[in-house]
């Protein structure tokens, strides 16, 4: 018979818990048998003393087993999943999932809603009229078997221990503990039933992990957890020192994903020496208040494509389709160039009740009433970006949730036109702001301009893909 008092004492002294002890802690807290004050004390001990590999694996498995576990056994083939640790403008799921599905790799994905600067994957998909994020499990499995892709909202019964523990971590300053972060993420992934997992671990000013070393450490822990559970896992460390791509906001990010999938020639976009001022004329461009029609700068689209193709290639490898990264990436590029990935995205949208005409014509998306250019106020080079602050601008506009009960405005956001390392001149458009409530305009404008640093010295932007952990 265990006592929580003894568990706190043991971890305070730096000793290692057994798997049974960790199971006792997780089960007891989930059932309400262990009070918040004792669990808070234990979490703080973990924060300072850390956890061993075995402890972290035991914690992950205990949380994964605390509720329902989705069985994907009825789905044919190796099921792959992706998880991102978050960031600003991250819409890679809408690009990666159709690529993989068009190549015959089953993607059975559960995603959540967003809390903070923007909506989650589920919120963004609801910008497509009619799209249903909740379908019966039998239909979910049928969709993956028939067209290799389904994406639904996460059930509340999946890893309930994690939800309860995270709420306590959030109010006790114990969120930023590597073993607690890793077990939180991986418990949900293990419970979701995928055979292979690719982890997109962000680092930089818009990410939880501010530097590459911490991001790599987190990725390694999660990859090790996945392997201990018999999953094929890769960790991809990517840069979040500026928003990913050009668009930030719910409907805007879906538009951007569609535009990327509509490209017929992806390879020229990946040139490392591409000039920021060169424009790409994409197949699907629009006239939404004067912003989308101007196309994309080559730097922004290159970063988004590089991350998306890297993730897709490793997911392709994790599914056992290739053992060579370059060959896998080439297959993913072909899926875009042939139009197969775009067609798959439309098929997926329509299968879950969404209006596929929005994929054919991005002008149909309902964006904010006002599109206001935000211009640079001095000459120089764009040297740095406080990416989290850019995300907060979207929250001010109404594109995120301050609380779980907040209503999201799906049509607001930013279309960013200048990127790190690029030349800026006074009067150049830094970004277009899509805004409904002009009462928050001055605050949003001030914070957006304040998020960027302009220097007289040339600054080289960070590599978008920093490291691979396997």
Parse the chain into domains and list their residue ranges. Answer: 4-64
Q: Give the pLDDT mean for 32-51.
A: 96
| Residue 350 or residue 266, greater confidence | 350
At 461, is the pLDDT very low, low, confident or very high (cuts 50, 70, 90)?
Answer: confident
- Compute the distance between CA of residue 373 and CA of residue 87 in angstroms, rounded to an integer: 23
| 83 among known catalytic residues | yes
| 169 among known catalytic residues | yes
Set 81, 90, 123, 162: catalytic member: 162
Is residue 396's pLDDT more than 60?
Answer: yes
| Both tokens assigned to 146 | 């028939």
Q: Which CATH architecture has domain 4-64?
A: Up-down Bundle (1.20)
Q: Give the pLDDT mean for 199-205.
A: 95
The size of the chain, in residues, is 470
State the burial class of residue 6 (Cβ atoms within 10 Å of its Cβ: 0-12, 13-18, 19+).
Answer: exposed
Set 23, 91, 109, 169: catalytic member: 169
CB 373 within 8 A of CB 441: no
At 218, is the pLDDT very low, low, confident or very high (cuts 50, 70, 90)?
Answer: very high
| Both tokens assigned to 259 | 């535009």
pLDDT of res. 467: 94
Q: Give the pLDDT mean for 191-215.
A: 92
Q: Give the pLDDT mean for 281-308.
A: 54
At 350, is the pLDDT very low, low, confident or very high (cuts 50, 70, 90)?
Answer: very high
Set 82, 124, 188, 303: catalytic member: 188
**CB neighbours of 225 closer than 8 A, spacing ≥ 6?**
56, 57, 60, 182, 183, 186
- Compute the distance between CA of residue 219 and CA of residue 209 in angstroms, rounded to an integer: 11
| 176 among known catalytic residues | no
| Interstrand relation of 452-455 and 380-385 (parallel, antiparallel or unpaired) | antiparallel
| 188 among known catalytic residues | yes
Q: Give the pLDDT mean for 36-62.
A: 96
Per DSSP, the three-state class of 73 is coil
Is residue 351's pLDDT more than 80?
Answer: yes
How far from chain centre, in Å, is Cα 189? 14
Q: Give the pLDDT mean for 9-28.
A: 96
At 156, is the pLDDT very low, low, confident or very high (cuts 50, 70, 90)?
Answer: low
Number of C-alpha atoms within 13 angstroms, CB side, residue 349? 25
At 278, is the pLDDT very low, low, confident or very high (cuts 50, 70, 90)?
Answer: very low
**If we measure between CA atoms, which residue out of 427, 453, 421 comes closest to residue 275?**
421
Is residue 57's pLDDT more than 50?
Answer: yes
pLDDT of res. 284: 32
């Amino acid at each position: 018979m265990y006592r929580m008092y003894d568990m706190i004492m043991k971890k305070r002294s730096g000793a290692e818990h057994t798997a049974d002890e960790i199971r006792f802690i997780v089960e007891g807290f989930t059932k309400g048998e262990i009070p918040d004050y004792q669990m808070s004390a234990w979490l703080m001990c973990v924060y300072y003393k850390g956890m061993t590999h075995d402890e972290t694996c035991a914690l992950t498995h205990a949380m994964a087993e605390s509720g329902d576990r989705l069985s994907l056994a009825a789905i044919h083939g190796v099921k792959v999943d992706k998880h991102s640790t978050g960031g600003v403008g991250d819409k890679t799921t809408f690009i990666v999932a159709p690529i993989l599905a068009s190549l015959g790799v089953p993607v059975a994905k559960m995603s959540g809603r967003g809390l903070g600067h923007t909506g989650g994957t589920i919120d963004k998909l609801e910008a497509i009229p009619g799209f249903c994020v909740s379908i019966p499990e039998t239909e979910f499995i049928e969709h993956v078997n028939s067209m290799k892709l389904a994406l639904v909202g996460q059930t509340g019964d999946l890893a309930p221990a994690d939800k309860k523990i995270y709420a306590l971590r959030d109010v006790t300053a114990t969120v930023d503990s590597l073993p607690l972060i890793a077990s939180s993420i991986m418990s949900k992934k293990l419970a979701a039933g995928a055979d292979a997992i690719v982890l997109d671990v962000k680092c930089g000013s818009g990410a939880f992990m501010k530097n590459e070393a911490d991001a790599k450490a987190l990725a390694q822990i999660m990859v090790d957890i996945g392997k201990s559970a018999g999953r094929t896992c890769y960790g991809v460390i990517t840069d979040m020192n500026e928003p990913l791509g050009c668009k930030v906001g719910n409907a805007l990010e879906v538009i951007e994903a569609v535009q990327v999938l509509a490209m017929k020639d992806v390879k020229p976009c990946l040139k490392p020496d591409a000039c920021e001022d060169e424009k790409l004329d994409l197949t699907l461009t629009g006239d939404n208040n004067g912003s989308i029609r101007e196309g994309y700068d080559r730097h922004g689209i290159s970063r988004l494509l590089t991350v998306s193709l890297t993730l897709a290639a490793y997911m392709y490898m994790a599914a056992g389709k290739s053992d060579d990264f370059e060959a896998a990436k080439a297959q993913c590029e072909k899926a875009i160039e042939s139009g197969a990935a775009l067609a798959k995205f439309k098929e997926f949208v329509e299968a879950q009740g969404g209006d596929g005409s929005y994929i054919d014509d991005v002008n149909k998306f309902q964006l904010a009433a006002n599109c206001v250019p935000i211009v640079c106020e001095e000459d120089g080079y764009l040297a740095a970006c406080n990416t989290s602050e850019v995300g907060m601008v979207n929250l001010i506009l109404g594109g995120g949730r301050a609380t779980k009960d907040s209503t999201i405005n799906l049509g607001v956001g930013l279309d960013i036109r200048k990127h790190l390392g690029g030349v800026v001149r006074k009067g150049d458009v830094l970004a277009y702001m899509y805004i409904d409530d002009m009462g928050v305009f001055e605050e949003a404008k001030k914070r957006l301009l304040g998020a960027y640093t302009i220097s007289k010295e040339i600054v080289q932007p960070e590599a978008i893909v920093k490291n691979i952990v396997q």
